[in-house]
Every structure is written in structure tokens, then in C-alpha cells.
């Protein structure tokens, strides 16, 4: 995504990501050349709009939120966008994501729902198997809310020291590369 497009979107859509941190994350995702992206915690859909922009027409974008309040019309997109409404940790929601994926594997998953330790852990356990080998899972807000998401990310770093990276700014994003 060129800088002009990035800044235009950054200024016009509702999101909570910090400018440089999110630009870094987008550049990492673009390296994957994704065709399937999953976001947990879409809320107003600001970051979802960025993912839509990265994807090509016909690619799949799946969003999960307990109460999505999207600020843009996903039905007008030429990407296939599916919003699964429900608690990300509930088995019914996980089944809904699997159904939306239709057997496809995820290239990039963005975990940005609840930042409670247990929720991040369960989201990771539920959705990591849906990510392809070589894909990325990003855990957002590892430096906020008493570092609960960060505590889980630190455990990933200890378990997979060569498969994690951090970009720490205001909120912090941790990346985990799924290896075969």
C-alpha cells in the first residue's frame, strides 16, 4: 500500500492503531501477499478496511466481533467479506469462522478483540490451526490493559523464540510466524 493511500485511510476510518506501528504491521502483512485474512475484534471496521485494501478482488476477509458496528458498507466491496457475530471464544463462533473459510487457510490473523489473558490465549488456540504454515498471527495491544495480551505474547516468545517479533509503540503489536 502506498503512503498516500495509507495516510488517507488512516485519517478517514475509525481505528485505534498508532500510525507508525500500524504502518509497520501492514508492510509485514503485504509481504505475505495474502488472499485470506481473519480479524478478531472488528468493532467499527477501521483496520478491516485496511485489510480489504491489501486484498485483491475476490479474496476473502473474515471478521469476528461480539457487536460489530461497522462504519462502512462491506457489501459494496469486491472482496468477499464475511462478518461472524459472536464471542470469539465460543465454539459456535469458531464454527462460523470455519464455515466462512470453507476449508481455506488464513494467511494473516489479527487478534484484537478482548485483551484479557485467557481470551487471547483461547483465541490463539482456536484460530492458530486455521493459519497456513508461513502465515502470521498478530496480537495487538501487548502493552495495554495491564499487559494481559503481552503476558500471553511473552509466553509465545519463550516457547518459540525464533518465530516472534515485536513492534512496540503506544499499544504494541506482537507477531508470530506459524512454522510447519
Tell me the CB-side half-sphere exposure of residue 171, using CA atoms within 13 A.
Answer: 17
DSSP 25: H
Model pLDDT for residues 61-104, shown as the tens digit of each residue: 999 999 999 989 999 999 999 999 999 999 999 999 999 999 99
Environment class of 133 (CB within 10 Å of its CB; exposed 0-12, middle 13-18, buried 19+): exposed
Contacts of 43 (CB under 8 A, 6+ apart): 65, 68, 69
- Distance (Å, whole) CA 170 – CA 173: 9
Residues 64, 31: Cα–Cα separation, whole Å? 24
Q: Please, are residues 5 and 52 in contact by the beta-carbon 8 Å criterion? A: no
Residue 13 has what pLDDT? Answer: 82
| Residue 161 DSSP class | T
pLDDT value of position 168? 61
Q: For 47-53, what is the mean pLDDT?
A: 94
The string of pLDDT tens digits covering residues 118-167 is 999 999 999 999 999 999 999 988 887 667 898 999 999 899 888 887 76
Cα 161 from Cα 151, distance rounded (Å): 15
Domain 18-177, CATH number (from 3.30.540.10, 3.40.50.150, 3.60.40.10, 3.40.30.10) = 3.40.50.150
Average pLDDT, the chain: 91
* Lookup: cell for 126: 482456536
Evaluate whether 131 touches 105 at the Cβ level (below 8 Å).
Answer: yes
| Domain edges within the chain | 18-177
Amino acid at each position: 500500500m502506498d503512503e498516500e493511500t495509507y495516510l488517507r485511510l488512516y485519517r478517514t476510518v475509525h481505528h485505534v492503531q498508532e500510525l507508525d506501528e500500524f504502518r509497520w504491521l501492514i508492510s509485514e502483512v503485504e509481504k505475505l501477499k495474502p488472499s485470506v485474512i481473519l480479524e478478531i475484534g472488528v468493532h467499527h471496521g477501521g483496520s478491516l478496511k485496511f485489510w480489504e485494501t491489501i486484498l485483491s478482488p475476490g479474496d476473502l476477509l473474515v471478521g469476528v466481533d461480539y457487536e460489530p458496528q461497522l462504519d462502512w458498507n462491506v457489501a459494496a466491496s469486491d472482496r468477499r467479506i464475511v462478518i461472524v457475530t459472536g464471542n470469539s471464544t465460543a465454539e459456535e463462533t469458531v464454527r462460523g469462522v470455519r464455515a466462512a473459510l470453507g476449508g481455506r487457510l488464513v494467511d494473516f490473523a489479527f487478534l484484537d478483540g478482548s485483551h484479557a489473558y485467557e481470551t487471547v490465549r483461547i483465541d490463539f488456540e482456536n484460530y492458530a490451526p486455521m493459519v497456513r504454515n508461513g502465515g502470521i498471527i498478530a496480537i495487538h495491544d501487548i502493552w495495554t490493559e495491564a499487559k494481559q495480551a503481552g503476558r500471553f505474547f511473552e509466553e509465545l516468545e519463550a516457547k518459540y523464540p525464533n518465530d516472534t517479533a515485536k513492534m512496540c509503540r503506544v499499544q504494541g503489536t506482537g507477531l508470530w510466524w506459524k512454522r510447519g
